Amino acid sequence: MNIQELQQKLFLEIKNKLPVEASVADETAKLLDISSDSIYRRLRGEKTISFEELFKLCTHYNISLDQMMNIHSEAYPFLGKMVSRANFSFNDYITSLTQYLVFITSFKNHAIYYLCKDIPIFYLFQFREIAAFKYYFWMKTLLRFPEFTSRQFSFDIYPDETFEMERKALDLYTQASTYEIWNVESITVHLRQIEFYRESRMFKSDNDVFRIYEAFEKLIDHIEKQASLGYRFEYGDAEMKRRGQFNMYFNEVIIGDNSQLAVFGEYKMAFISHSIFNFMMTRDIRFCEYVSNNIKSLMERSTLISGVSERERGRFFRIMREKIARRKDTLKV
């Protein structure tokens, strides 16, 4: 590969990282602080980009030269931020999730594959009761913000602005074409968190706990209805107008993790969860292909319960409801 071919490949890679409506010329000219004429000469290969320009472009757009030049190594480039109290804004975190969804769903041919060790985060934004509890849990236990140290749970501490932002992310996810692999433990961790806080007297009354459990029951009902149809629709829509395609798989023996793979056009992007609340992303071809093959293999060993397999679908959701019902029976309301 000569320098002109590498340069053209670089700009093509940048184009694929930008929203569909964005201009490669305008974006890169602004970044390099050069004129439109100068950037177009680089785009056409008439002028070779400098090492400094190459560094700026690769750093800004998180492009690996090893990958572009097909230099194989044991290293994989990832992009991500480490969440901590010092640098964390919950609204910024939701914004980053939303931006990824905007980019992925801007492609007509796209799909999101999700290994659901837990209920996917976007589902938790469906009902305010669940979203409020998870917000409290994340801020108190995971991030350990001082103002939450001795504070009991209250639905009022959950900001309206945050819920509105989460609903926008949920709306985008509802429109996406998804493949999700669930197991009967996907809901367990959420129920354990509720029970732990109840035992720790972090709830003012069992009535609040009851409201959260009821919200989970509504969520399970909604997911089951979507699975039976094989597509998503907005909660409360009596006509159940079709949105994104929903492919749901049930795996009884493999729990896995919460990894995700996005496929858009001819490209793939893998998201790896780590340290509970963090995630990192890569578009490394070898890594994404490995994740893709692993997911396909897991799907072959799972039962498709969306649109078909009514008996298995009913059994799966019955187990989910029983888990909630057992905990509701312990409440004093």
CA-to-CA distance for 134 and 190, rounded, in angstroms?
Answer: 8
Q: Is 12 helix (H, G, I), strand (E, B) or coil?
A: helix
User: Token match 């209920």: residue?
Assistant: 119
List Cβ neighbours of 51 (8 Å cut-off, separation of 6 or more).
none
At residue 14, does pLDDT exceed 80?
yes
Instruction: Give residue-wise pLDDT tens across range 299-328.
Output: 999 999 999 999 999 999 999 999 999 999
pLDDT value at 269 more than 60: yes
- The reported pLDDT for the residue numbered 39 is 87
Residue 65 is predicted with a pLDDT of 67
Instruction: Please write the tens of the pLDDT for every residue from 190-203.
Output: 999 999 999 999 99
User: Whole-prediction pTM value?
Assistant: 0.78
- Does residue 2 carry a pLDDT above 70? no
Q: What is the pLDDT of residue 243?
A: 95
Mean pLDDT over 267-289 rounds to 83
List, in order of start, the domains of the chain with CATH numbers: 3-68 (1.10.260), 79-328 (no CATH)
8 pLDDT band, cuts 50/70/90, is confident
Q: What is the pLDDT of residue 332?
A: 79
Question: Could you tell me what percent of the chain has a pLDDT over 70?
Answer: 92
pLDDT tens column, 78-107: 666 666 667 778 888 899 889 989 989 988
Structure confidence at residue 75 (pLDDT): 63
- Reported as a single tens digit per residue, the pLDDT across 279-291 is 788 888 888 999 9
The helix/strand/coil state of 80 is strand
Residue 257 pLDDT greater than 70, yes or no: yes
Q: Which residues of 287-313 are buried (b: 16+ CB within 10 A; e: fewer)?
A: bbeebeeebeebbeebbbbbbebeeeb
pLDDT computed for residue 67 by the predictor: 62
What pLDDT was estimated at residue 126? 96
Cα–Cα distance between 173 and 175 in angstroms, integer?
5
Residue 285: its pLDDT value, please?
84
Distance in angstroms (rounded) separating the CA atoms of residues 258 and 172: 19
| Residue with the larger pLDDT of the pair 157 and 11 | 157
* Residue of 100, 96, 170, 82 whose CA lies nearest to 131: 170
When the pLDDT of each residue in the chain is averaged and rounded to a whole number, the result is 89
Among the ranges given (113-122, 174-183, 204-213, 255-264), the one the predictor scored with the smallest mean pLDDT: 255-264
pLDDT of residue 15: 85
- Can you point out the beta strands (E) in the chain? 79-80, 110-115, 178-182, 246-250, 260-264, 267-274, 278-282, 303-304
Q: What is the DSSP string of 107-124?
A: SSSEEEEEE-SS--GGGG
Alpha-carbon distance of 215 to 127, in angstroms, equals 6
Q: What is the pLDDT of residue 254?
A: 78
Summarize pLDDT for 28-63 with one digit per residue, the tens. 989 888 898 888 888 888 888 887 888 788 878 877
pLDDT at 325: 96
